A = this chain, B = another copy of it.
Amino acid sequence: MSQSHTDVSDEARAGSGGQDVADVIATEACPLTEVLEHVAGKWSIGVLVAAAHGPVRFTELERSINGISRRMLTLTLRKLERDGLLHRTVHPTVPPKVEYALTDMARELHSTLTSLIDWAERHRGAIATARARYDRVN
């Protein structure tokens, strides 16, 4: 099952484990995919980044994340909270006030997310072009 270590020329290795990334994918695809899917929701990254600079209230998130519905915000928030990425604080006041903050675990992810977004920003023009060309041919 494990594919031989064909020359892995440039690439960075999985830092902590010392294993080859391809092997990790190959032998642990399920758990990895499983975890990755929690960050993979349509709005998860947006929420994670929007909450990165400190405790944020529900309505703030709703306003800052363009296009999200109340329902999806709630679902995304619950999902992230369940996975231990967000901490939810309820202030028993009237009107109610709820604040969401990243956990340490989620904060560790921040730079990676930033890289991802940065990459997307830099290449979305090229991606759109590539797609247009592909569609024109096919």
Main secondary structure, interface of A, reads: helix
CB-CB nearest in chain B for A65: B29
- 1/0 per residue A41-75: CB within 8 Å of B? 01101100110111000001001111110000000
Could you say which residues of chain B place their CB within 8 Å of the CB of A83?
A: 127, 130-131
- 1/0 per residue A96-118: CB within 8 Å of B? 00000000010011111011111
Give the size category of A's interface with B. Answer: 35 or more
Of B10, B27, B134, the residue contacting A128 (CB under 8 A) is B10
Interface residues of A in 15-32 (CB under 8 A from B): 15-17, 20-22, 24-32
Q: Is the CB of A6 within 8 A of B38?
A: no
Q: Is the CB of B46 within 8 A of A117?
A: no
Could you say which residues of chain B place their CB within 8 Å of the CB of A82?
A: 130-131, 134-135
Tell me if A122 counts as interface (CB < 8 A to partner B): yes
Could you say which residues of chain B place their CB within 8 Å of the CB of A84?
A: 126-127, 129-131, 134
Additional 13 contacts, C-beta under 8 A, given A3-B63, A115-B115: A3-B121, A11-B114, A13-B114, A14-B114, A14-B118, A16-B122, A25-B50, A29-B67, A32-B46, A34-B124, A82-B135, A84-B129, A112-B112
